[in-house]
């Protein structure tokens, strides 16, 4: 959900998020602009404006703002003034805010994690942007833009690669698509990127459809189900990797020779090692 509020705002100290170890800088990059590492185990989000008196500013991931700091943002919106750090007199501002989040703010309000009054102050105009998986027609122009941004010139996308991208579920939305294109642009052996260069892999929501009658003995039913599973799993695995045996074996955690023998067992085409 993206919201636009034609209200005044102020820079305020950011939400401080404690973390229990981990790659803090990587986490900060994933959270987006404004997040930085503070100390050894904390992340802090800052809100600031380039022109405090008259500006349009974008606040990303507003749903991540700590509960204890939300009143400061609300007061700035209500009072329409700021006070610089070390300053004495308040400064009147005329700033419009575009706030974005991928969180369900009404649910956070219900859970007590986001102030209701701040939510209604921000949600003057709401624009819902569907996830990328629901708008596959947006994938080609996005891919074209990302390829144009690459230093490597002359890159093109093969038809099978475009089909794979448009069929992907994209849990990470446009950011994930950008990462996939950047990786493929750097690792592709030629100027035409095919499906095998994308390394999309399977998604948590993917399912294998298996069925067997209940009128079979247990041992025979188990053998049939195992055969169905192996055939469907291998066919899907090799399709996702464009027949690349080495890449498929790495993802499946199987030795290449064993994977090759399984493919031959079920008459599934597998390409050469690379």
Cα–Cα distance measured from residue 183 to residue 189, given in angstroms and rounded to the nearest whole number: 12
- Residue 141: per-residue pLDDT: 95
pLDDT along the chain (274 residues), means of 10: 36 43 59 58 52 65 87 83 75 82 90 93 89 91 92 86 87 90 87 85 53 70 81 84 83 86 84 54
Question: Which tens digits make up the pLDDT trace of 164-174?
Answer: 898 888 888 89
How many CB atoms neighbour CB 205 within 10 A? 8
Cα–Cα distance measured from residue 165 to residue 149, given in angstroms and rounded to the nearest whole number: 18
Please give the mean pLDDT across all residues of the chain. 76
- Residue 146: per-residue pLDDT: 92
- Residue 274: per-residue pLDDT: 45
For the full predicted model, state whether its pTM sits above 0.75. no
Distance between first and last Cα of the chain: 43
Question: Which tens digits make up the pLDDT trace of 184-242?
Answer: 888 888 888 888 888 886 554 455 555 666 667 877 777 878 888 888 888 888 888 88
- Please list, in sequence order, all residues whose beta carbon lies within 8 angstroms of the beta carbon of residue 243, skipping any fewer than 6 positions away: 196, 269, 270, 271
- Residue 7: per-residue pLDDT: 34
Give phi and psi for 271, each to the nearest 5: -80, -170
- Residue 16: per-residue pLDDT: 42
Cα–Cα distance measured from residue 180 to residue 165, given in angstroms and rounded to the nearest whole number: 9
- Residue 13: per-residue pLDDT: 42
Burial (CB count within 10 angstroms: exposed 0-12, middle 13-18, buried 19+), residue 169: middle
Cα–Cα distance measured from residue 115 to residue 94, given in angstroms and rounded to the nearest whole number: 23
- Residue 189: per-residue pLDDT: 81
Q: Is 60:27 a contact under the CB 8 Å cutoff?
A: no
- Residue 78: per-residue pLDDT: 85
- Residue 186: per-residue pLDDT: 86
């Amino acid at each position: 959900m993206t919201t636009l509020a034609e209200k005044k705002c102020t820079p305020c100290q950011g939400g401080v998020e404690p973390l229990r170890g981990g790659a803090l800088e990587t986490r900060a990059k994933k959270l987006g602009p404004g997040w930085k590492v503070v100390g050894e185990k904390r992340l802090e989000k800052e809100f600031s404006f380039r022109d405090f008196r008259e500006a349009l500013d974008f606040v990303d991931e507003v749903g991540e703002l700590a509960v204890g700091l939300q009143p400061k943002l609300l007061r700035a919106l209500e009072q329409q003034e700021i006070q610089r750090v070390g300053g004495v007199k308040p400064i009147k501002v005329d700033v419009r805010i575009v706030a974005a989040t991928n969180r369900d703010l009404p649910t956070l309000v219900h859970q007590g994690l986001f102030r209701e009054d701040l939510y209604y102050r921000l949600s003057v105009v709401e624009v819902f942007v569907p996830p990328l998986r629901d708008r596959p027609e947006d994938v080609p122009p996005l891919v074209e833009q990302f390829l144009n941004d690459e230093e490597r010139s002359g890159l093109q996308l093969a038809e099978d690669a475009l089909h794979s991208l448009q069929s992907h579920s994209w849990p990470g939305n446009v950011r994930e698509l950008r990462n996939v294109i950047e990786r493929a642009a750097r690792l592709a052996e030629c100027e035409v990127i095919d499906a095998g260069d994308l390394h999309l892999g399977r998604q948590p929501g993917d399912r294998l459809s298996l069925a067997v009658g209940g009128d079979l003995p247990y041992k025979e039913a188990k053998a049939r189900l195992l055969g169905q599973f192996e055939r469907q799993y291998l066919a899907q695995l090799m399709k996702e990797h464009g027949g690349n045996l080495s890449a498929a074996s790495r993802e499946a955690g199987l030795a290449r020779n064993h994977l090759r023998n399984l493919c031959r067992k079920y008459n599934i085409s597998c390409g050469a090692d690379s």
